[in-house]
Amino acid sequence: MSEVPNEPFFIGWSGRLPAGLRAFYVSVTVCVVLIFAGLGLLMGRNIDDPGLNLFAQRASESIAKPELWVSNQKFTGSLSLLPYPVLHIVSGDGVSVLRSILLSGSGKSGVETTEATYQVSAVGGLLKRGDIDMLAVDELTVVNTKKATPPLPQPAGQWQSIGEICDGKCYPGGMTPGFGLAHRACATICLIGDVPAIFVVAEPIEGQSFLLLAGPDGEPPGPWIREMIARPVELTGMVERVGQMLVFKVDPKKARIL
């Protein structure tokens, strides 16, 4: 019978490592820790930068960086509700709309509105980017004494345009404008939560770099926008001006991902 090899044998419950394996395990420990530390350094070295958004690459004057977020701003005006609530600030003589501000609630949700019969006053944080004004509303109160009629929509023609569907809160600076999957997922959650959907256009329409997005009848866009969010798309439909806000009534059948 040949010689029996004398290999160390570890019995788990004994809680003792055979002496012959001690040196081996010192090197295993060093290797494992070094591999983990090294891979940690490697993984941290080059993580994606979500600030590289599609539009930053063709950054122009009309597509600006988020400029402003001032809390505790108060505005009074009339409300239009469709496709999303917009507060219109009217001139003293009541003839022209000076400013149309998009409204949202706190976090990733839309604002709870009242009927559009009376003037309302809204307090919240104002976000501004290029020609978007967005008020993240903390408090919306009806000014009972003053009746108000929202501005009437003025047709601005049929348009076909290339751009990106974003949420109207993150885009003007609610969060860092992003790129890719995380940006898309975040925008989707915002839009499901009724934050206004906007269409940021590559070439300005009627002098504006963004439009409020609507379905063909001016209603909030349906689930068809889901797969189009935060990717280059071409949309076709009628554009209307409501106060200072452009509304894009998109024909879903003609919408396409580029």
Partner 1 sequence: MSERYVPIGWSRTKLIYDAVLIFAVCAFLFGFFSMARRAGLATTPTDEGSLPIRAFGSCAFLLLTLALSIGPLTRLDKRFLPLLYNRRHIGIVTFAVAAAHVFTVFDWYLAFSPINPWLGLFVSDAMFQRLDNFPFVPFGVLAFLILSVLAATSHDFWLKFLGPGLWKGMHMSLYAAYGLIVAHLSFGALQGKQNLDLSVLVIGSAATLLSLHLAAALKHARVLRHCEKRDLEAGWIRVALESQVLDGRAQIIALPGSEAIAVFRDKDVITAISHRCAHQNGPLGEGRIINGHVVCPWHGHEFHLTTGCAPAPFTDRVPVYPVRIEAGMIYVKPTPVHNSRDRAAEVEP
Q: Is 37 in the site for partner 1 (CB under 8 A)?
A: yes
Cβ proximity of 83 and 169 under 8 Å: no
CA geometry: angle 99, 91, 129, nearest 5 deg:
15
Among 67, 112, 203, 227, binds partner 1 (CB under 8 A): 227
DSSP one-letter code for 6: -
56 phi/psi in degrees, rounded to 5: -65, -30
Pick the stretch among 31-39, 94-102, 151-159, 214-222 that binds partner 1 (CB under 8 A).
Answer: 31-39
Q: Is 106 in the site for partner 1 (CB under 8 A)?
A: yes
Q: Is 28 in the site for partner 1 (CB under 8 A)?
A: yes
Q: Is 38 in the site for partner 1 (CB under 8 A)?
A: yes
Pick the stretch among 26-34, 68-76, 143-151, 155-163 that binds partner 1 (CB under 8 A).
Answer: 26-34
Among 62, 89, 116, 180, binds partner 1 (CB under 8 A): 180
In 10-93 the beta strands, taken as DSSP E runs, fall at: 68-80, 86-90
Pick the stretch among 46-54, 71-79, 80-88, 209-217 that binds partner 1 (CB under 8 A).
Answer: 46-54
Cβ proximity of 169 and 136 under 8 Å: yes
Scan for tokens 């023609």, then name that residue: 157
Among 104, 134, 181, 248, binds partner 1 (CB under 8 A): 181
29 phi/psi in degrees, rounded to 5: -60, -50
Positions 130 through 149 that interact with partner 1 (CB under 8 A): none
Q: Is 252 in the site for partner 1 (CB under 8 A)?
A: no
107 φ/ψ sector (left φ>0, alpha ψ -120 to 50, else beta): left
Contacts of 9 (CB under 8 A, 6+ apart): 18
82 phi/psi in degrees, rounded to 5: -110, 145
Pick the stretch among 78-86, 117-125, 155-163, 189-197 that binds partner 1 (CB under 8 A).
Answer: 189-197
Give the residues lining the site for partner 1 (CB under 8 A).
Answer: 1-2, 4, 7-17, 21, 24-25, 28-29, 32-33, 35-52, 106-109, 176, 179-182, 184-186, 188-190, 192-193, 226-227, 231
